[in-house]
Amino acid sequence: MMLVRRWRQHLWEKIGCRNILEVGVGTGQNIPHYSEDLKVTAVDSNPNALKIASERAERHDVDVRLIYGDISEVDFEQNHYDAAVSTFVLCQLSNPHTALQNILGALKPGAALYMLEQTTSTDPAARILTSLCRPLYWATGSKIPQDLTDQVSSAGFAIVEKYPVFARGAVVVVSAQKPFE
């Protein structure tokens, strides 16, 4: 858990702007990492998770607006956000392409999507472990993306960086930019 907290902290430290969209906020594990100058709009399709996120937001006294909805369908204000954040969400999306395109539309031109996501490691031992866990992923409706950066770029983003933070790519940080027109 300490390790995951460190990855989250690392990701949020990259964000130097104010008006943020967090997609798939879940129970709000990232909320303790919001800096006090951030204004966050956070979306999730699980109302029970959002309730916990709301309680956490109150405890941490952060400026966050929680929205119930599907990332692919929420009618976000267009060209509005300075950055978007997604942590451990892509593997759960039933239609990642549409979701990513919707996020793209919500970002200002030049704004970035910062992701902390599971993907397929290049390490043989980690790959074996991932295959052993596959039934668990299936049971929870998750799919580990093998082609995360392809998915992100095919939605219209330009990949800025991708680097592993765990087990040679079992968990990666990806930053991608919405192109200027």
Helix, strand or coil for residue 118? strand
Residues 94 and 112: their CA atoms lie apart, in Å, by 23
Residue 149 makes contact with ligand SAM by CB under 6 A: no
Per the listing, tokens 């399709």 go with 45
Place of tokens 């929205």: 67
List 44, 66, 119, 172, residue binding ligand SAM (CB under 6 A) = 44
**Residue of 90, 117, 115 lying closest to 14 (CA atoms):** 115
29 binds ligand SAM per the rule CB under 6 A: yes
Q: Give Cα 47 distance to the centre of its chain.
A: 18
* 3 state DSSP class of 8: helix
Near ligand SAM by CB under 6 A: residue from 41, 72, 151, 175? 72
Residue from 41, 87, 130, 175 in contact with ligand SAM (CB under 6 A): 87
Please identify, using beta-carbon distances, which residue of 92 and 101 lies nearer to ligand SAM: 92
Nearest distance, CB of residue 82 and ligand SAM, angstroms: 19
Shortest-Cβ-distance residue relative to ligand SAM: 26
Please give the Cα distance from 11 to 30 (Å, whole number): 10
Q: Environment class of residue 37 by beta-carbon count within 10 Å: exposed (0-12), middle (13-18) or buried (19+)? A: exposed
Verify binding: residue 46, ligand SAM, rule CB under 6 A.
yes
Residue in 31, 90, 93, 113 binding ligand SAM, rule: CB under 6 A? 93
> Binding to ligand SAM by residue 92, rule CB under 6 A?
yes
- How near is the Cβ of 125 to ligand SAM at its closest, in Å? 23
Give the shortest CB-95-to-ligand SAM separation in angstroms.
7
